[in-house]
Amino acid sequence: MTDTPRPADLDRAIGFTLPERNARGRVTRLGPVLDEILSAHAYPPPIERLLAEALTLTALLGSTLKDAGGQLTLQAQTQHGIVSLMVCDYKGGELRGYVQYDADRLALLGKNPSLFAMFNQGYLAVTFDQAATGERYQGIVPLDGDSIAQAAESYFLQSEQIPSLVRLGLGRDGEGRLIAGGLFLQHLPEGEEGRERLHTRLDHPEWGHVEALGATMGADELADSSIPLENLVWRLFNEESEVRVLAGTELSRGCRCDAEYITQVLGKFPPEERQAMADAEGMITVDCAFCARNFPVSLSDFAASSL
C-alpha cells in the first residue's frame, strides 16, 4: 500500500498567535504566482532568487494588513549598485514586483553574488498605506546585512522597536520552477496586539524562546510544498499550551495596469503634453515594469471622448 501524495500547499499565507508568549507570526509559500511574475521578465538566476525572496517577504508583511484596501510596498534602491531598483507590492492578496539591474556587471559576479555585491550601499524602504484612514507609515534601513530577511528584521527593530525574526527559503519543484517560503515572527509589546509600543522590552525572555524555536525552521521545510502551512506552525510550537491559527489569505499575481486604467491616467494630462508623448503615428506607448507589457493608446481616443 502506498501513501497518497499530499496536494501542494502554495500561494497562501496564514497567521497565528502565541498568546502566552506575547508573539504573533505569519507563514507563506509561493509557487504558480511566483512563476507567473518571474516568467514575464526572463531574469538571470541571481535576480530571480532575489526577487523571489523579496516577493515572499512582501506576502508575509502585506498579509498582516487589517485594512482590506491597504497596500504594502517594499522598495530596495541604490545609486551605484548593480541592482538599481527593486519594487514589490501587496494589495488585497495580489502580488507584483520587478527589478532593474545592470546585466553586464551582474555577469561578472558569478553564480551566487552576495547582497552587498548587487546593491553596494543600498537601502530598504517599507511603506504601509492604509486605505481606510489615508495614513502612510514608512521606514528606511540600510541594506547592510547578508540577506533581505536581515534587512527586514533591522527595519522592525529600528523603525518600530519590535524584535522580529524573518526566515526565507527557496527550492524547486519537479519541473524546475522556483518555490519560495517564508516565516515571520514578532514580539507583541505588552502582550497585546495594537497597544502603543512605548514599553517594548528587547530582552523579554518569552521572545527569546519564540525566536530560538523560529530559528530552527529550515529553508527546505519552508519551500516544501507537500507540507501544509499549518503543519509548519505545529512543528515549531507543538509544545506550547495555546496556538491560535488565523484565517488564511489566498495569494495571486496582480498588476493594476490595463488599457482602461492607462487611458484614464493619460486623460489627466493636458492635450499638448499628450501630443508630445505620442509618436509620428499619434500613438502613446506606456510600458508597465511590473508585467513587462506595452499599452498603446491613440490620441484619437481622447479626441473622441471629449465630444
Residue closest to 29 by CA, chosen among 253, 290, 221: 221
Residues 265 and 173 in one domain: no
Element spanning 221, H or E: helix 219-222
Residue closest to 122 by CA, chosen among 96, 157, 87: 87
Residue 14 CA to residue 232 CA, distance in Å, equals 11
**249 within domain boundaries:** yes
**182 within domain boundaries:** yes
For cell 512543528, the residue is 235
What are the tens digits of pLDDT across the range 123-162? 999 998 887 787 888 888 888 778 899 888 888 888 777 8
**111 within domain boundaries:** yes
Q: What's at 33, amino acid-wise?
A: V
Residues 237 and 280 in one domain: no
Going along 243-290, which residue ranges are E strands? 244-245, 249-250, 252-253, 283-288
Count structural domains, the chain: 2
Residues 263 and 136 in one domain: no
Q: Which DSSP state fits 113?
A: -
Residue 91 CA to residue 251 CA, distance in Å, equals 10
SS3 content of the chain, % helix, strand, coil (to 5): 30, 30, 40
Residue closest to 95 by CA, chosen among 58, 40, 65, 68: 58
Residue 275 belongs to domain with CATH number: 3.90.1280.10
Residues 227 and 100 in one domain: yes
164: left (phi over 0), alpha (psi -120 to 50) or beta: beta
Residues 221 and 296 in one domain: no
Residue 137 belongs to domain with CATH number: 3.55.30.10
Residues 156 and 40 in one domain: yes
Residues 128 and 264 in one domain: no
Residues 81 and 178 in one domain: yes
Q: Are strands 244-245 and 249-250 parallel, antiparallel or unpaired?
A: unpaired
Going 76 to 291 to 256 to 297, the CA torsion angle's sign is: positive
User: What is the gyration radius of the CA atoms in the chain, in angstroms?
Assistant: 21
**1 within domain boundaries:** no
**221 within domain boundaries:** yes
Full-model pTM: 0.86
C-alpha cell at 102: 545592470
Residue 281's domain spans which residues? 259-305
Residue 240 CA to residue 200 CA, distance in Å, equals 22
Residues 61 and 91 in one domain: yes
Residues 264 and 205 in one domain: no
pLDDT score for 5: 54
**5 within domain boundaries:** no
Residues 236 and 205 in one domain: yes
Q: C-alpha angle 149/154/155, rounded to 5°?
A: 95
**6 within domain boundaries:** no
Cβ count within 10 A of residue 91? 19
Q: What is the pLDDT along the chain (307 residues), one digit of tens a residue?
A: 445 455 679 999 999 999 999 999 999 999 999 999 999 888 999 999 999 999 999 999 999 888 778 899 999 988 788 999 999 999 999 999 999 999 999 999 888 898 888 998 889 999 988 877 878 888 888 887 788 998 888 888 887 778 899 999 999 988 889 999 999 999 986 544 444 443 445 556 788 899 999 999 999 999 999 999 999 999 999 999 999 999 889 999 987 777 777 777 787 888 888 888 888 888 887 777 777 777 778 887 776 555 4
Residue 64 CA to residue 193 CA, distance in Å, equals 12
Residues 146 and 164 in one domain: yes
Domain boundary residue among 212, 227, 253? 253
**195 within domain boundaries:** no
Domain boundary residue among 233, 253, 273? 253
